[in-house]
Structure 1
Amino acid sequence: MGIGPERTAEIADRVEAFVRHIVVPYEKDPRRDHHDCPTEALVEEMREKARAAGVLTPHILSDGSHLSQRETALVLIRSGLSPLGPLACNTAAPDEGNMYLLGKVGNDALKTRFLNQLIEGRARSAFLMTEPAEDGGAGSDPMMMQTTCRLDGNHWVVNGRKAFITGAEGAKVGIVMAKSDEGACMFLVDLPDPAITIERVPITIDSSMPGGHAVLRIDNLRIPADQMLGHSGEGFKYAQVRLSPARLSHCMRWLGACIRSHEIATDYANRRMAFGKALIDHEGVGFMLAENMIDLKQAELMIDWCAGVLDGGSLGTVESSMTKVAVSEALMRVADRCVQIMGGTGVTQDTIVEQVFREVRAFRIYDGPTEVHKWSLAKKIKRDWKASYA
């Protein structure tokens, strides 16, 4: 699996050049919606330039094959050098994870109808799993899912509510999770659909994902039976296929963003004078930059390690939990230091440092909060101990 180091490096270099020279100037573009997220027009304009530069959906090759996870890391880290980079290059969540899932488990008909438009950057998608806390629905615990589906002739009828559905507003493809008598189910649907109502799109701390994170109501959504992925009761099995790679690709993209923030903070610390010398020559600032170097390298190595596990054929559930915790916490420290080093400038929108800090704070929650991953890892430690000593 994979295309080799030379070709991977060439793709990654082209992506980095595109992001630094073409995408970064768009960070000052005023086209933002009422949630401060990039508008569809802005995304489409950037994607046209990515298409022309040959860096649109660079992690999926022309024959439909996917780069290995290690190769994907090299490319997605570069795309993440700007918060707009993943949108421009079509490597952003949730589309990247949804493309991976459909490429792995979708049949030819579903790929033709739903996957191709995502790969071509002509559509965005949404993954409808999380549910409102006030309903007692699924969040970190997917087994609490309240959304139901029942078979009616050759259609499934779905009812329920969903929350924090990234990119639902403006999406053309939806992956809907619901539970039948047999267990969890996963469906592909065209969006928008009159049976799916956006109740609200809350204002959130992050602002890099078009469409925000919507709360939805699903009323008697009728889905043809042939739009189910697999069979009734297999939804969680397919969710596991998506789970670890999606966790890992978040780590890749935000590592890229924090590398860029570190570059900006380093430049500031070398240029800004205080108390008779450059900030970097003050031990408190210089040490923060040194700590950033350490955290960034540790994050890179954790990503590479987990990618290697996935490339070996494992689901990597434990390894991706460890990596998600380690990388999100390390990047939070990096982003926080960058703000601190830049002082007042660091909390303004004069640079992307302020936005990256907000985005990484949210990253510590989505795809599993740090505490849930630690709890899951502790359960594994206990199971392993019992197997060895009990």
Structure 2
Amino acid sequence: MELTLLGTGAPEGLPRPGCPCARCAVAVGDGTRAATALLIDGALLLDLTPGPAFAAARAGRSIGGVRQVLLSHPHDGPAVELPAGLPAPGRVPDGRELSLISGHRVRAVALDAPGTGYEVTAPEGERLLYLPPGAAPAGLAGNSGHAGDAGAPGPYDMVLLDVLGRPDALARLRASGAVGATTDVIGVHLGHDAPPGEELRRRLAAAGARAVPDGAALLVGDYHAVPDLPRRTLVLGGARSGKSVEAERRLESFPDVLYVATGGTREGDPEWAARVALHRERRPGSWRTVETCDLIPLLTADGPPLLIDCLALWLTDAMDSVGAWTDETWDDGGAAALAERVDALVAAVRGTRRTVVAVSNEVGSGVVPATASGRRFRDALGRLNARLAGECEHVLLVVAGQAVPLR
């Protein structure tokens, strides 16, 4: 099954007409995107982009053979034309299946937002799922290949959806078995809220997805371009830099994440309680939380992805445990005891089979602590960050909310 994306943008397109924002200002040339529309084997058109005939011609395709036009969502973007000769657009009722003369079968998928998703099966058996902007399938069944039907045949070959706007939709599809390791996930409906250029590629790759330009032709079932997910990621940053948000974003499209909070609880400290509550409120409801600094058993066990926040608090606990804050204890075995704990943690990160995203503070960029114990902690954290960075496939530095890839 061959798929041509006549557009990959949000309904308003990119740049959005009349919008003065920075993202729209830099959306020029190959960075522009028309409203998302899919041409499947020249016979089926899902959604309409402005000037569909010209969009198809630019991609080296013709819409002259289209026998069915289906709409997936209320159109609130620029006016679109229906070229002469195309059949009138329609919709398939939720749960119903439409058979085309070309041999394709189209099944309508119920959503949790206005609109309709479409599952398309080619005559040769390849299957894709297309979801409109801002929507996720409703009523997903666990371990199912169909969105909403139990006992269907395995995961889709390709899924196209609003990955950045609804990462939870991708998480639900993964949890149900509708998206597997070989599913090609394409991010569409990209508007001016999506980051530009390399940052877009990185954000989507972290979710196991990718973006393609308008006019791209894809073969459904071709798995060579599916991104490999990093097993270990270290996210560094200063206070309020956005490092925790970045770490959470990297796993928000995955179900059943275990959030490891190393800060614990602090009785009688309302400000700390408010910080903890803020973190909890922005996490997906399907995530579980454990409060512990005992990381090695978690890293060595099998299980869902781990998000560890943060290593600076782990180090504080480790230094508390070995009595590293006084010069006398530090010189009398404290330094060696801390080194053993760090060695064990680094070895566990190196050997883990779980997906891990760890957060740590980047310190020592300017102010020198006034106390020996403060300088000891600063130096120990710098060395810990450096060693763990050496074990991670991806390392990011977050500055003013912007993630800068270091590896």
TM-score bracket relative to the smaller structure: under 0.3
Larger Rg: 2
Q: Structure 1 length normalisation: TM-score? A: 0.25
Q: Structure 2 length normalisation: TM-score? A: 0.24
